[in-house]
Amino acid sequence: MNSALAKTEAVEKGFDEAILLTHDGHVSEGSGENIFLVIDGQLVTPPSSDNILIGITRDTVITLAKSELGIETIERSIAPGELYTADECFLTGTAAHVTPVTEIDHRKVGRGEVGDITKKLQALYFDVILGKSKRYLDWCTPAYKLVKA
């Protein structure tokens, strides 16, 4: 319910998405997505203790970052101010896939464009889910044509 209300409020104020905070004031997640920052070439994302849903897409991105790009992910609490100083930001989720964030609260994230690491992770992720990456084919389940009764 909180997620739906936050999303509605964000849209009413002219934003595309809401970013929720923990009771302690740390960044938690989007209304239906996990959040990642790129800071000095490393991925940073809130830990499970910061009231996030541990998502499959989140885990996939963490794995791809390490195995394909050699980038470690740091799971730690994120202060809201870090959203404004991060080099890159993106959201992950079943519906969001890997969605770049280039602006928060009318402030540019990084250079105000999709960052290089976000682009690479987005491309890798789509290769995996579209079955184009042989290394991760075991992550995919074929969907067969449904026959109408």
Report yes or no on 134 lying in a domain.
Answer: yes
Predicted local distance difference test score (pLDDT) of residue 77: 97
Average pLDDT, the chain: 91
> Could you tell me if residue 145 is inside a domain?
no
**140 Rama class: left (phi>0) / alpha (psi -120 to 50) / beta:** beta
Arithmetic mean of pLDDT, 97-106: 94
- Its domain, for residue 94, covers 2-139
Please report whether residue 149 resides in a domain. Answer: no
3-state secondary structure of 114: coil
**What's the pTM?**
0.89
**Domain count of the fold of the chain:** 1
- Range name among 8-12, 20-24, 110-114, 131-135 with the lowest pLDDT average: 8-12
Q: Is the pLDDT of residue 2 over 70?
A: no
What is the CATH number for 15? 3.20.10.10
pLDDT digits (tens, 9 = 90+) for 72-81: 999 999 999 9
